[in-house]
Structure 1
Amino acid sequence: MRHSERHRADRIGWLRAAVLGANDGIVSTASLVVGVAASGASQASLLVTGVAGLVAGAMSMAAGEYVSVHSQADTEKADLARERSELEKDPAAEHRELAAIYVARGLEPDLARQVAEQLMTRDSLGAHARDELGISVALSARPIQAALASAASFAVGAALPLVVTALASTHGVIPWVSGTALIFLAGLGAVAARVGGAGVLMGAWRVTFWGALAMAITAGVGALFGAIG
């Protein structure tokens, strides 16, 4: 009987897009609100700015993820098409190439040739995709999944500082938005690290650090332009 195992590699595609979207939603919206608030804008202006940032950011994240991941998918398809053509033209050379890969990984030459032969008999393209090109089902590019995960997580992340902006007083917007954004970022980093199997404290720290830096720089720029204006 096979023992059960739990791996996280199949989460890479959507987890990366979701974490990136949520992180960007929190950081960009909180930084935008803090920067505009530092210039002396009213609470109504802050909310309008934040909502506009949420919509524009979600659409931008979706489009960016779709285009970038689709480019990866196109490259994978092109490589697979080329490999399929090579298998049809010269299967013996492809067999030797696959066997050489297994020898490089530590198999004896005779055993490597046998393994390559058996795998190619069952699924030649699949064997070369995995072991020569590094393309697998779990790690293959999924543009639509990445776009939806990124846009949805961005909207959720951006909504958090917006809710705080709506509830905070005009004079308390900057400390409240900044403080709660750091808490949200720490929570996001911890959850993402937990889901991905990494260290929770380190995951929370790195997300919080870069978020704090972004908000500090944006607040400084907003205060500078507010003073100039």
Structure 2
Amino acid sequence: MTDRPDAPTDTAVHPGEPHREGIAQRLNWLRAGVLGANDGIVSVAAIVVGVAGATTQTGPIVTAGMAGLVGGAISMALGEYVSVSSQRDSEHALIEKERRELAEMPEQEFDELVGLYRQKGLSEGTAHRVATELTAHDALAAHLEVELHLDESDVVSPWAAAGASALAFTVGAILPMVAILVPPAGARVTVTFVAVLFALAITGYLSAWIGGSSRWRAMARVVLGGALALAATYLVGSWLGASGIA
């Protein structure tokens, strides 16, 4: 039987579990990447399929697809940057507030920490001992974790999220561009439909895996939504082409 005092105290004990610092930041990048790829696939596919419904000429299809790719990537990056920047600013404000309170009223903050551990079910003596040891180790980290459920090392980077989103959107958008341009004109729309729906099934699976939810339900949602978007834009493009408007 292993003697507990000699057991490792770092994350090597459970190497497969997400105990490393920065896990929230890495998951944020991954989430932004998956969502960006999904948006790139659907947005650009809808554009090129809609144009293909109106004309078989390659020039308009390429022009519309590239415009959608560039504009969509910039829009995704900007939206992600603004969103994550707001979140980061709020987290930094909370961290600075807690740091200031610890400097100005350490005794009250210590009593508050003891009370929070008491609310978690610890006895008075145990709560006081835990608060004492954690305060001696890192008072700010202890308060952030218990009071605000924050880790200072996990404050997300807006630039990283924006970059991941833009890159993923671009990578996702390349698929429908290739699918619409490589096949003969008569098979373009069919091939694009199949390729896009297959890719959406993959992104749906990945998003569910990240969030720990039902894979099949997530896949069905994105595939059905993508199919509706492609069908709608193709019908609109076909109508515009048949009516002579486009």
Asked whether the two chains share a fold, i.e. TM above 0.5, the reply is yes
Does structure 2 conserve the Cα–Cα contact (< 8 Å) formed by 1:83 and 1:128?
yes
RMSD, matched Cα = 2.2
1:164 matched to 2:164? The reply is no
1:68 matched to 2:83? The reply is yes
How do 1:119-158 residues align onto structure 2 when only pairs under 5 Å count?
Answer: 119-137=134-152, 139-158=154-173
Amino acid at match of 1:201: W
Which is further off, 36-45 or 58-67? 36-45
Q: 1:195 to 1:75 in 2, by over 3 A?
A: closer
Name the counterpart of 1:174: 189
Which is further off, 99-108 or 54-63? 99-108
Give deviations 1:46-85, integer Å, cap 9, x for gaps.
Answer: 1111111111111111121112111111111111111111
Which is further off, 98-107 or 49-58? 98-107
Runs of 5+ consecutive residues of structure 1 not aligned to the other structure: none
Q: How many pairs align?
A: 229
Mapped partners of 1:147, 1:203: distance in 2? 24
Does structure 1 conserve the Cα–Cα contact (< 8 Å) formed by 2:74 and 2:166?
yes
Give deviations 1:122-180, integer Å, cap 9, x for gaps.
Answer: 21111111221111256421112111111111111000110111112223222221221
Amino acid at match of 2:148: L
**TM-score with structure 1 length normalisation?**
0.89
Q: Taking every aligned residue pair, what percent have the same amino acid on both sides?
A: 41
Amino acid at match of 1:66: Y
Name the counterpart of 2:17: 7
Mapped partners of 2:158, 2:87: distance in 1? 9
Mapped partners of 1:98, 1:213: distance in 2? 53
Give deviations 1:197-220, integer Å, cap 9, x for gaps.
Answer: 554434433322222232233334
Q: In structure 2, the residue corresponding to 1:5 is in which secondary structure?
A: coil
Which is further off, 218-227 or 157-166? 218-227
Q: 1:129 to 1:227 in 2, by over 3 A?
A: farther
Name the counterpart of 1:90: 105
Runs of 5+ consecutive residues of structure 2 not aligned to the other structure: 1-6
How do 1:1-229 residues align onto structure 2 when only pairs under 5 Å count?
Answer: 1-2=7-8, 3-8=13-18, 9-10=23-24, 11-40=26-55, 42-137=57-152, 139-194=154-209, 198-228=213-243, 229=245
Mapped partners of 2:110, 2:234: distance in 1? 61
Mapped partners of 2:208, 2:15: distance in 1? 19
Mapped partners of 1:49, 1:56: distance in 2? 10
Q: In structure 2, the residue corresponding to 1:44 is in which secondary structure?
A: helix
